[in-house]
Amino acid sequence: MTQAISTRLAWVAVDWGSSNLRAWALAADGAVLAEAEAARGMLGLAPADYEPALLAVIGDWLPAQGRITVLVCGMAGARQGWREAPYRPVPTALDALAEGAVRPAVEDARLDVRLLPGLCQGADAGGFDVMRGEETQLAGLAALEPGVSGLVCLPGTHAKWATLEDGRVQRFHTYLTGELYRLLAERSVLAHSLSEDDLDNSACREAFTAAVAEAAAAPEAFTRKLFGLRAMDLLDNALPDGEARGAVLAARLSGLAIGLELAGACRDLTAGQSVRLIGGEALCRRYALALSALGHDSEIIANQRAVLAGLGLAHAALAHAAPDHD
């Protein structure tokens, strides 16, 4: 099987984050020959560790001779990563990300590694902000829908909202919602009242959507409603008992946090305008439910599909570019 991969291997796509790396072996026609992942993210690596970590994942795919392009997005190109791929400022065309790719030094002659840049935004463009990794998902959307325009959300620990116009990122904003939820759920007084929610449960779903609407309608009341969760746990006899009680309150906290985010992110969204969601299925479904509670449609694009399409767009650009000497 390994020999069959190496004989058909055209290039390798890598999504290298803070905690994990995921790699795909790709044929010339774009077919995925193999995929692998490892818990070897930027936070646990020094620059000298990156090449061995990469080879531990993809080494068996490589042919005995020849040089294979390995195209990497994500935190490996951060300042604290393998080698910094400087941010490209917005507005920027999503099919031009490869122009900012850099080569880290490697010892294995079979590797031609390119690290893709992230995007940055200054105060004059809408407020200081950065992204690294999500730009490749947006590029994947541009590859799947050439000339795409509209509002795109990439849910996560730090959710990104990008405004696209004709395949270009015009501006973007980051919301700390996922991290805020976790801090509140685990480190605040609310930790005594919460368990894990389940939006397939009708009581959790109703608590979530109601909280989304409340927070979006009155974001100035957010912290008051946070403490209200603790008071509900102590006083509200209509809530279920035990774990079910904590699940409903957790769903309400999630709804308040995401509703606060949507109050800002969707402020200029017209009624009925659709939002594209890119990311993991469970979190995208949660955001889709929140958007629906506010009267907005959404479309979900799977994370892997977007990443591979974005890296494929960059690979095609590199293949047609003049040779460089980086």
Three-state SS sequence of 109-173: CCEEEEECCCEEECHHHCCCEEECCHHHHHHHHHHHCCCCCEEEEECCCCEEEEEEECCEEEEEE
The per-residue pLDDT for 321 is 75
The set of residues, in sequence order, having a beta carbon less than 8 Å from that of 177 and lying 6+ positions away, is 158, 159, 257, 258, 260, 261
pTM for the structure as a whole? 0.94
Show the CA angle centred on residue 294, arms to residues 156 and 164, nearest 5°: 55
Whole-angstrom Cα distance, residue 210 to residue 225? Answer: 12
The per-residue pLDDT for 1 is 58
Helical (H) or strand (E) element with 36: strand 32-38
What are the 10-residue block averages of pLDDT along the chain, 326 residues in total?
Answer: 85 97 97 97 97 98 95 97 98 96 98 98 92 98 96 97 97 97 98 97 98 98 98 95 96 98 92 90 98 96 97 94 58
Longest CA pairwise span in the chain (Å)? 71
Please state the separation of Cα 99 from the chain's center in Å: 22
The per-residue pLDDT for 325 is 46
Whole-angstrom Cα distance, residue 212 to residue 306? Answer: 27
Helical (H) or strand (E) element with 13: strand 9-16
The per-residue pLDDT for 87 is 98
The set of residues, in sequence order, having a beta carbon less than 8 Å from that of 241 and lying 6+ positions away, is none
Nearest Cα residue to 222 out of 174, 161, 177, 288: 177
